[in-house]
């Protein structure tokens, strides 16, 4: 990429993209948000408000829409060194098409979605240009503002092919306000997060309750069976879950009195679009390809798909 300012395009100004994008912008990085037309109008008029523990301010950060990016195709304004994809899974396919004008031969792409399906799709469309990435942050959007609910903010990235993350990208992403981690084994980390999110989704969606209520109803053994079942898929895929990650998963999913529910459960019970297929459907297909039986995962998918069919009818 040479010795020049790294131009960063962030697809999505939600809780994840908005929080990390704000930190990068405030550190003097060359940041542009890629958002839908309505969001662009609001951000241009009012800026992007960012609220975190002890912090509350508004920044006016450059934005682009799909139409503007397509119209400017071929100009210098469309040449980005790094594209961060921070959208929900149901927006992935449209984003892939929309960001094409921003992706040059040397552009790198980091998706911050849950699961592994986004990695496969982006590698298919942009071979050799995709890095692995995941984030830890507790955030939401309220009245258009990005709210970071706790001090936790970690960005983890890594090369998928063993060639390493370019120094220019690592330096550009190393800013105050969040911790940057660079892993050699990013694929293992992606699998571990996928298995945790899937296990949390299966447990809370199958039993339709928070963890504490499931435990009180005698669910401990069933929760362990779910975790065992899903971890067997990771092991068969060559990315076994570490003992530390397993301990963390079981601790969270078997905590007495816990009000914890998965984001998948919250979306489904609220009638919102969910990541059912992206997280659980893809894992079930992967398990089938690996000849690993996943009866509890499959049962959960039947329930969720049936419910979605009724919701849409």
pLDDT in tens, 204-252: 999 999 999 999 999 999 999 999 999 999 999 999 999 999 999 999 9
Average pLDDT over residues 136-146: 93
Q: How confident is the model at residue 161 (pLDDT cuts 50, 70, 90)?
A: confident
Beta strands 48-52; 145-159: pairing state: parallel
Tokens linked to 15:
């809780």
77 pLDDT band, cuts 50/70/90, is low
Residue 72 has pLDDT above 80, yes or no: no
Residue 313 has what DSSP assignment? -
**Any bridge partners for residue 49, and if so which?**
58
Cα–Cα distance for residue pair 222/207, rounded to 1 Å: 10
Quickly state the pLDDT bin for 312 (edges 50, 70, 90). confident
Domain 7-177 class in CATH: alpha beta
Torsion, Cα 145 272 268 292, to 10 degrees, reads -100
pLDDT for residue 81 is more than 80: yes
> For the chain, what percent of residues have pLDDT higher than 90?
91
Asked if 21 and 61 touch (Cβ cutoff 8 Å), the reply is yes
Q: Please, are residues 196 and 248 in contact by the beta-carbon 8 Å criterion?
A: yes
pLDDT for 71: 85
pLDDT given for residue 3 in this prediction: 57
CATH fold, domain 189-312, is 1.10.1040
Give 256-292 as a DSSP string: TT-----HHHHHHHTT----IIIIIIHHHHHHHHTT-
CA 30, CA 295: separation in Å to the nearest integer?
A: 48
Q: Summarize the chain as % helix, strand, coil (round to 5).
A: 50, 20, 30
Domains of the chain: which residue ranges? 7-177, 189-312
CA distance 34 to 11: 5
- Closest by alpha carbon to 110, among 139, 99, 71, 101? 99
d(CA 151, CA 147): 11
pLDDT band at 1 (very low <50, low <70, confident <90, very high): very low
Mean pLDDT of 262-266: 93
pLDDT mean across residues, the chain: 94
Q: Is residue 2 predicted with pLDDT exceeding 50?
A: no
Instruction: Assign 13 to helix, strand or coil.
Output: coil
């Amino acid at each position: 990429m040479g010795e020049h300012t790294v131009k960063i395009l962030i697809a999505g100004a939600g809780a994840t993209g908005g929080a990390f994008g704000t930190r990068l912008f405030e550190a003097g990085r060359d940041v542009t948000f890629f958002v839908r037309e309505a969001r662009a109008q609001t951000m241009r008029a009012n800026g992007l408000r960012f609220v975190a523990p002890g912090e509350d301010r508004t920044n006016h950060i450059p934005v682009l829409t799909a139409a503007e990016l397509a119209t400017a195709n071929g100009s210098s304004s469309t040449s980005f060194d790094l594209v961060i994809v921070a959208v929900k899974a149901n927006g992935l396919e449209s984003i892939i098409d929309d960001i094409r004008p921003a992706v040059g031969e040397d552009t790198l792409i980091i998706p911050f979605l849950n699961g592994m399906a986004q990695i496969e799709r982006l590698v298919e469309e942009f071979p050799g240009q995709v890095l692995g990435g995941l984030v830890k942050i507790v955030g939401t959007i309220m009245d258009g503002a990005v709210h970071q609910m706790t001090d936790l903010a970690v960005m983890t990235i890594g090369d998928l092919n063993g060639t390493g993350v370019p120094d220019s990208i690592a330096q550009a992403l190393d800013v105050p306000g969040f911790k940057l981690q660079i892993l050699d084994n990013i694929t293992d980390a992606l699998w571990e997060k996928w298995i945790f999110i899937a296990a949390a989704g299966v447990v809370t969606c199958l039993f339709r309750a928070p963890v504490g209520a499931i435990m009180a109803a005698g669910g401990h053994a069933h929760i362990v069976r779910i975790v065992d079942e899903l971890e067997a898929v990771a092991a068969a895929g060559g990315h076994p879950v570490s003992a530390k990650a397993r301990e963390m998963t079981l601790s969270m999913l078997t905590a007495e009195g816990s009000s914890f529910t998965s984001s998948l459960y919250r979306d489904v019970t609220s009638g919102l679009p969910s990541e059912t297929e992206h997280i659980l459907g893809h894992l079930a297909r992967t398990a089938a390809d690996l000849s690993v039986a996943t009866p509890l995962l499959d049962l959960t998918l039947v329930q969720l798909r049936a419910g979605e069919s009724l919701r849409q009818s």
